[in-house]
Amino acid sequence: MIEWSQHLPVLQVVVPLIVAPIIVLFRNKNIAWFLATATAFFSLYTSIELLTIVQESGPIDYAIGNWERHVGIVYHIDIANAYILTIVSAVSAFVFPYSYHSIQQEIPEYKLHHFYAALVLCLTGLLGIAATGDAFNVFVFLEISSLSTYALVAMGDKPGKPPRASLAAYRYLIMGTIGGTFILLGIGFLYMMTGTLNMAELSEKLPALSDTSTVRAAFAFITVGASIKLALFPVHTWLPNIYTHAPNVVSAFLSSTATKVSYYVLLRAMYTLFGAALAAQALQLKLLIGPMALVAIFLGSFNAIKQTNIKKILAFSSVAQIGYMVLGLSMNNLDGLTGGLIHLFNHALMKGGLFMAVGCMFYRYQSVELSDLKGVGRTMPFTTFAFVLGGLGLIGVPLTAGFISKWYLVLGAFEADVWWLAILILIASLMAVMYIFKVIETAYFQEPNTDIEVSEAPLSMLVPTYALVLASVYFGIFTEPMLGAAREAAEMFLSAGGM
Amino acid sequence: MEILIPLLLPLITAALIQILGRFASPNIRDGVHTLMAVVTFYFVIQLIGPVMDGQRPDFFVAEMFPGLTLSFKVEPLGLVFALVASGLWIPTSVYAFGYMRGHHESNQTRFFTCFALAIGFALGVAFSENLLTLFCYYEALTFSTYPLVTHYQNAEARRAGRIYMGILVTTSVCFLLVGIASVWFLTGTLTFTQGGVFTGGEYETWQIALLLALFAFGTAKAALFPFHKWLPNAMVAPTPVSALLHAVAVVKAGVFTVLKVVIYIFGLEFLSELGANNWLMVVAGFTILFSSTVALFKDNLKARLAYSTISQLAYIVLGAAFATQTAAIGAAMHIVMHAVGKITLFFCAGAIYVGAHKKYISQMDGLGHKMPFTMAAFTIASFSIIGLPPFGGMWSKWFLGLGALEGGSWGFMSIYMISSLLSIAYLMPIVGRAYFRKPSEKDADLHEAPWMCVLPPCLTAIGCVLLFLFPEGLFDLLNLMFVEGGQ
C-alpha cells in the first residue's frame, strides 16, 4: 500500500496542472472560481504538511516514476523549498477567494474561465519551481509561470482606454524572455560541463570545475537571469507597470508570490549550485549585489514617494522591498540571510494585503489615483484601516511582521561589520513612512467627493484582505513558526550549500 | 497574571467605545470611558502591595526572536509611571467629556478610542520587562496618538501631524532602534537588570557615550534639544490631548524611558565611573535654560506651557544624567510632581478656552474675578511647577538639587535655580494679570466653563498639595529601586 503523504511533493504540482485545463473545459465562471480556490486550499494543505514533515524528519527526495536522479526528474523538498511553497500557496488561498467579485468587474464574463485557467497555471509554475530538484525543470516551470503571467496581465486592459496592460505585458514578455533565456543558457553550460541537470549532482561536481570560464559564464547568466525575474535594480523596469496595470487580483497575487520564487531561484543558484564552487562569490555579493540592492531600496522608495497612483506607489515600494531581501542575501551571514528570507513571507502578507485593500477601493471608485480617492477613509473606513495596518507593516513598526525582517537585517549589518548599512536600512524605512502617509493623508485629511455615493467593499473581498493584514500583525508577535523555518533555511544555505 | 489586567483594560475600553459609539448614546459611551479609567486605576493600585512586599509580578506573552521575548514585569519605577498615567486618566476622562461636548467636536468616538489606546500603550511602556517590549509600546504610543494630534483634520493639523510623526518616528527608528540593536549585539541581552547589563565588559568611554546619545536623542518623546519641536506643534490638538498626552503619557513615556535605560541598562555606577554621562548633563542643562527662555516670549498660553514642559522634562533627563541614586529618585519624583502640576495648567488653559474663548495671555486681564476656581487651580499648579512649598513640586526639586551636588557640580545646581526663577517669570505674569488687572469691558459677562471642565483642575490642584504633605509612600516605593533584588 502506498502512503498518500509520500506523493505530496509531486501532487503539489500535478493537481493544479490538471485543474487548469479542466477549468477551461467547464466554461463557467463560478465553477472556474470554485476549482481554482479549491486548488489553492489543496496546495496550502500540502505545503504545510510538507513543511511539518521536513521540519520533523529532514529533506524528502521524490523520484518521479522511480527514475534515478541522473536519468529522470527528482523533486527535492527541504526546508527552503517547503518554506517557499507555503508562502506561495498561503497567499493564493487568500487571493483566489477574494478574486470572485473583484475580477468580474474588470474582465468580461466570456474571458473569466480563461483567466482562472491562467491563474492556476501560474500557480503551477511557481509551485513547480519551488518543488523541483532539477535545474532544467526550473526553467520549464519558470516559462509556464511567465507565459501565464503575460496573459493574466494583458487581461487588465480597460475597454475604451489605451491598452496599457497589454503594453506592460509586452514589455515584460521581452524582459522575461531574456531572463528565461539567460537561465536556460546557464543551465546549458552547466550540463555541458557536468552531464547532469540534477541540482544535488551539480553541486557535487561543480567545485572541481570552478576555475573554468564556462562555469563562470553559467554563473553570470543564471544570476542575471534570476535578477531580471526578481526585478532587481537595474533590471526592475518591467515591474512597476506590470503591477500598476494588471487586474488588482493579479497585482496582489504576483507581488506576493512571483518575485519570492525568483528570489529562491537566485538563492539556490548562489548557494547550492555555485556556493562551494566559486570562492569569490562572497566578494561578488558584497561588491556587486549589495550596492545594487541598496540602490534598489533608495530608488524604489524615492519613486514611490513621487507617485500619485496608489498601485504605482505599492509597485515601486516592491522594488525597494526586493532590495531589502537581496541586501539580506548580500550580507552573506546568518542574521542577514534570515532577514532576507523572513522578509519574503512578511512582505508577501503585507503587500498582498495592501494590493487587496487597494482592489477594494478600486471596486467602488473605479480608480486608484490619489486625486479620486480623497476622503476614502470616511467612505470606506474598514478598507482604509486595512491599508493602514498593512502600511505600518511596510514601514516596519514593531508588533508587525515588517519589524521582524528589519531587526534581522540590522543585526546582519552589524554582524557584517558595516554599521552604516544598519543606519541606511533604517533611513530607507523612513521613506516608507513618507509614501504610506501620503496615502493616509489623502484618505483622512481631504473631504470626500460628494457627487458619488460610495459604500464599503463586499465582505467576500474584505474578509480575505483582513485575513492577510491581520496575519502580518500576528506573525509580528508570534514569530516562531515561520521565523524558525526561515532561520533553518538560512542555516542550511550557509552551511552545506543546501543539498 | 494580575499585571495583565491593567494592560488589557484600556484596550478593552477602546473596543467598547467603538461599539458603544455606534449603538449607544454619547453619554453612555463617555460614562463607560470614565468608569473604565477608574477600574484600571484600581487594578494598578492593587499592584502596589505586592511590589512593596518585594514581589515583581510578571507575564510572558511571546518569544519574538530566539532569546528575545515580549514580556512584562512590574518594578517600582514602572509602577510609579503607571500610577501617574492611569491615575490622571480619570480626571482627564471627565474633563474630555465636558470639553468635547462643550466644544461640539466631531469624531468623538475616534477621539476617545485613541485616547484609551494611548493610555494602554503608556502602561505597556511602564511595565515592559525588556527594551524590545518597551520599544514596541513606545512606537505604538506614537502611532495611536497621531489621530489625536491631527484631530481637526485641517491643513494646520496635517502640518503638525507631519512634524509629530517626522520627529518621533525618525529619531526612534534611526537612533533608538540602532541603540537597542547595539545593546543586543554587544551584550546579548535586553532585559532591564539591576546595575545594568554592561558589567564585566571592557568598553571605551566614547562608545558608551555614543550609545547613551542614541538612547537620549532616540527617545524624542523626552523632547531633548534639538528634537523638541514636535511638542509645541502638537498643541494644535484638543486641550484634553495636550493635557494627558503632552503633560503625562507621551512625554513622560519619553523621560521614563531615558531614566529606565540609564538605571537598568547602563547602570548608574557604570556610567559615572566612565564619565560617559557628562555630555548629557550639558545638553539637558542647555535645554532647560533655552526652553525656559523661549517660554517667556510666548503669548499663546498653550505654547508657553509647551515650552515650560520641555524645560521640565529636561530637569528629569538632567537628573538621570547625574547618575546618582538621589538624583534618580528626584527625577522619578519629578515625573509625578510635574505631571500633576502641568496637567492642571493645561486643564485650566482649556477651561479658559471653553469658558472665555481666549488663547492669548495678553487677553486674560482680570480673569481671576470671572473664573475664580479655574484661576485658583492655575495659581496653585504654577507654584508647584516653580517648586515652592507647600506644593509637591518642591520635593522633586529638592532631591534633584541634592543629586546635582552629588553627581554634577554647583554649576548644574545653579541651572536648576536659574530655571526656577525663569519659571516664576513666565508663569507669574499670567496669575498677576488674572488677579490684579481689571477685566476689559467686553468680558463683563464671562463666567466659568461647565463644571466638568472646572472640577478636574481643582482636583489635581488639590493633588499638588497632597503630594507635598504625603510624599513618604512615593519615596518608599522609589527607594526600592536600589534595594538588592529591586529589579
Could you tell me what percent of chain B has a pLDDT over 70?
99
What pLDDT does residue A123 have? 94
Q: Do B177 and A410 touch (CB under 8 A)?
A: yes
Q: Do A480 and B177 touch (CB under 8 A)?
A: no
Tell whether B44 is covered by a domain. yes
State the nearest Cα–Cα gap between B93 and chain A, in angstroms: 25
Grid cell listed for B121: 500603550
Q: Please, what is the angle between helix A29-57 and helix A8-26, to 10°?
A: 180
Q: Which residue of A has its CA nearest to B161?
A: A441
Handedness of CA A313, A318, A323, A324 (dihedral sign): positive
- Segment A308-312 mean pLDDT: 91
State the nearest Cα–Cα gap between B178 and chain A, in angstroms: 7
Q: Which residue of B has its CA nearest to A411?
A: B181
Q: Do B173 and A430 touch (CB under 8 A)?
A: yes
pLDDT one-digit tens code per residue, A115-155: 999 999 999 999 999 988 888 999 999 999 999 999 999 88
A1, pLDDT greater than 60: no
Torsion region of B279: left, alpha or beta (phi above 0 gives left; psi -120 to 50 gives alpha): alpha
What SS3 state is found at B191?
A: strand
Rg value, chain B, Cα: 21
- Segment B370-375 mean pLDDT: 85
Given CB atoms, is A433 within the 8 Å cutoff of chain B? yes
Strand partners of residue A76: A61
Candidates B64, B107, B114, B148: best to mutate against A (most CBs of A within 10 A) is B64
Within the 38-57 window of chain A, which residues sit less than 8 Å (CB to CB) from chain B? none
pLDDT one-digit tens code per residue, A150-202: 999 988 887 778 888 889 999 999 999 999 999 999 999 999 988 888 888 88
Q: How far apart are CA B179 and CA B258, in angstroms?
A: 12
Tell whether B207 is covered by a domain. yes
- Using an 8 Å Cβ cutoff, are A365 and A372 in contact? yes
Tell whether B423 is covered by a domain. yes
Q: How far apart are CA A110 and CA A115, in angstroms?
A: 10
Q: Do B178 and A399 touch (CB under 8 A)?
A: no
Could you tell me what percent of chain A has a pLDDT over 70?
96
A262, pLDDT greater than 60: yes
Helix (H) or strand (E) holding A408: helix A401-415
Of B143, B178, B181, the CB nearest to A392: B143
What SS3 state is found at A69?
A: coil
Q: How far apart are CA A196 and CA B269, in angstroms?
A: 66
Pairing of strands A74-77, B58-65: unpaired
B272, pLDDT greater than 70: yes
A498, pLDDT greater than 60: no
What pLDDT does residue B435 have? 85
State the nearest Cα–Cα gap between A91 and chain B, in angstroms: 23
- CA geometry: angle A450, A453, A455, nearest 5 deg: 125
Given CB atoms, is A377 within the 8 Å cutoff of chain B? no
Instruction: Pick the closest to residue A259 from A281, A285, A236, A241 (CA basis).
Output: A236
Return the residue matching grid coordinates 530608488.
A299
pLDDT band at B486 (very low <50, low <70, confident <90, very high): very low
Of A403, A407, A444, the CB nearest to B153: A444
Residues contacting A218, CB < 8 A, separation 6+: A185, A186, A187, A189, A190, A193
Q: What residues in chain B have their Cβ under 8 A from chain A's Cβ atoms?
A: 61-66, 70, 132, 135-136, 139-140, 143, 150, 153-154, 157-158, 161-162, 165, 169-170, 173-174, 177-178, 181-182, 184-185
CB atoms within 10 A of CB A47: 27
Instruction: Pick the closest to residue B77 from B456, B485, B482, B443 (CA basis).
Output: B482
Phi first, then psi: what are they for A61, rounded to 5°? -110, 130
- Segment A322-331 mean pLDDT: 90
Q: Do A479 and B65 touch (CB under 8 A)?
A: yes
pLDDT band at B33 (very low <50, low <70, confident <90, very high): confident
- Using an 8 Å Cβ cutoff, are B60 and B67 in contact? no
What pLDDT does residue B241 have? 85
What SS3 state is found at A132?
A: strand
pLDDT one-digit tens code per residue, A4-28: 777 888 888 889 999 999 998 988 8
Q: Do A407 and B165 touch (CB under 8 A)?
A: no
Of B65, B132, B181, the CB nearest to A422: B181
Q: Provide the domain limits for residue B477.
A: 4-482
Grid cell listed for B287: 535645554
Tell whether B487 is covered by a domain. no
Within the 383-422 window of chain A, which residues sit less than 8 Å (CB to CB) from chain B? 392, 395-399, 403-404, 407-408, 410-411, 414-415, 422
B28, pLDDT greater than 90: no
CB atoms within 10 A of CB A41: 15
End-to-end CA distance of chain A: 29
* The model's pTM: 0.89
Tell whether B372 is covered by a domain. yes
Number of domains in chain B: 1
A2, pLDDT greater than 60: no
Could you tell me what percent of chain B has a pLDDT over 90?
15
Q: Do B143 and A410 touch (CB under 8 A)?
A: no
Per DSSP, A452 falls in state S
Query: What is the number of CB-based contacts under 8 A between chain A and chain B?
Result: 70
Q: What is the ipTM of this complex?
A: 0.83
What pLDDT does residue B261 have? 92
State the nearest Cα–Cα gap between B163 and chain A, in angstroms: 12
Given CB atoms, is A234 within the 8 Å cutoff of chain B? no
Of B66, B139, B165, the CB nearest to A437: B165
- Segment B185-196 mean pLDDT: 86
Q: How far apart are CA A21 and CA A24, in angstroms?
A: 5
List chain B residues with CB under 8 Å of A342.
none
- Segment A24-39 mean pLDDT: 90
Given CB atoms, is A437 within the 8 Å cutoff of chain B? yes
Per DSSP, A478 falls in state S
Quote the mean pLDDT of chain B.
86
Tell whether B154 is covered by a domain. yes
pLDDT one-digit tens code per residue, A219-241: 889 989 999 999 888 888 899 99
Q: Which residue of A has its CA nearest to B155?
A: A445
State the nearest Cα–Cα gap between A144 and chain B, in angstroms: 38
More reliable by pLDDT, B435 or A298 = A298
Which segments within A50-164 are labelled E, that is strand? 60-63, 74-77
Given CB atoms, is A298 within the 8 Å cutoff of chain B? no
What SS3 state is found at A309?
A: strand
- Using an 8 Å Cβ cutoff, are B52 and B477 in contact? yes
**Domain residue ranges in chain A:** 282-494
Candidates A334, A399, A403, A475: best to mutate against B (most CBs of B within 10 A) is A399
Q: How far apart are CA A477 and CA A403, in angstroms?
A: 10
Tell whether B67 is covered by a domain. yes
A382, pLDDT greater than 70: yes
Tell whether B38 is covered by a domain. yes
Candidates A334, A409, A414: best to mutate against B (most CBs of B within 10 A) is A414
List chain A residues with CB under 8 Å of B179.
none
Residues contacting A261, CB < 8 A, separation 6+: A84, A88, A126, A129, A130, A145
Per DSSP, B235 falls in state G
Grid cell listed for B387: 517648586
Q: Do B70 and A477 touch (CB under 8 A)?
A: yes
- CA geometry: angle B56, B220, B231, nearest 5 deg: 115
Q: Do A483 and B169 touch (CB under 8 A)?
A: no
List chain A residues with CB under 8 Å of B181.
407, 410-411, 414, 422
Given CB atoms, is A479 within the 8 Å cutoff of chain B? yes
What pLDDT does residue B487 have? 46
Handedness of CA B150, B155, B160, B161 (dihedral sign): positive
What pLDDT does residue B254 have? 92
Q: Do A407 and B65 touch (CB under 8 A)?
A: yes
- Segment B201-224 mean pLDDT: 87
Q: How far apart are CA B450 and CA B435, in angstroms?
A: 21
Quote the mean pLDDT of chain A.
87
Q: Do B143 and A423 touch (CB under 8 A)?
A: no
Given CB atoms, is A444 within the 8 Å cutoff of chain B? yes
- Segment B241-264 mean pLDDT: 88
Handedness of CA B250, B251, B252, B258 (dihedral sign): positive
pLDDT one-digit tens code per residue, A433-446: 889 988 988 888 77
State the nearest Cα–Cα gap between A398 and chain B, in angstroms: 5
Residues contacting A332, CB < 8 A, separation 6+: A282, A285, A286, A416, A494
Distances in Å between the Cα of B154 and the Cα atoms of A265, A444, B237 are: 49, 10, 11
What pLDDT does residue A122 have? 94
Grid cell listed for B464: 499638588
